[in-house]
Amino acid sequence: MLHDRHLAGASAAGDRPRTRRRAAQVPSPYSINGQAPYMDWRLIDQLRGFTKVPLLLKGILTAEDALLAVERGVDGIVVSNHGGRYLDYAPSSLEVLPEIVDVVKGRMPVLIDSGFRRGSDILKALALGAKAVCLGRVPRWGLGAYGAQGVQRVLEILQNELALAMAQAGRPTLDGLDRTAVRTHFS
């Protein structure tokens, strides 16, 4: 059980209370911790001044933001709703992918993440125009269960599922994947 002196920040020897310095933070009007809803596009310009490495921007969910990323000279984007953890009512990344690919017009790579669990999910994203699919949870499940070998096995399973889904869709190569390989009725 904590005593009052511990709660007040006093050391174990009973010295005077320690004070902690906190960095000045801009208060969030929505009381959202761990997120930065106040970010704006000027941050991209600032980051460009710090680094020469390729800059990928994650969290794009609208064609308008994708176009702004192109105009800002971002090297690539990741269409992502952050696994649905940011906003309950955000669209799925797969739902908005076609309009984003259309507005980018090949000027930068469009990657995607958020909820890809099977090879058939990957096929859908590639057919709708993604250049790559980022995987998060599924490889971590393999890592947690069996270490590095688990990750390897999970990736092998996904690759096999993708090859099978492509064969079933009559698309033997990645170059043969296009929007005609899938039906979409997002609404």
Rounded to 5 degrees, φ, ψ at 70 are: -60, -45
CA separation for the pair 16, 8 (Å, rounded): 10
List the catalytic residue out of 3, 6, 82, 185.
82
**CB-based burial of residue 18 (10 Å sphere; 0-12 exposed, 13-18 middle, 19+ buried)?**
exposed
Q: Is 185 a catalytic residue?
A: no
Buried b (16+ CB within 10 A) or exposed e, 81-120: bbeeebeeebeebbbbbbbbbebbeeebebbbbbbbeebb
Q: How far is CA 127 from the centre of its chain?
A: 19
Residues in the chain: 187
Q: Do the beta carbons of residue 104 and residue 74 sit within 8 Å?
A: no
Among 104, 106, 77, 105, residue whose Cα is nearest residue 93: 77
Known catalytic residues are 82
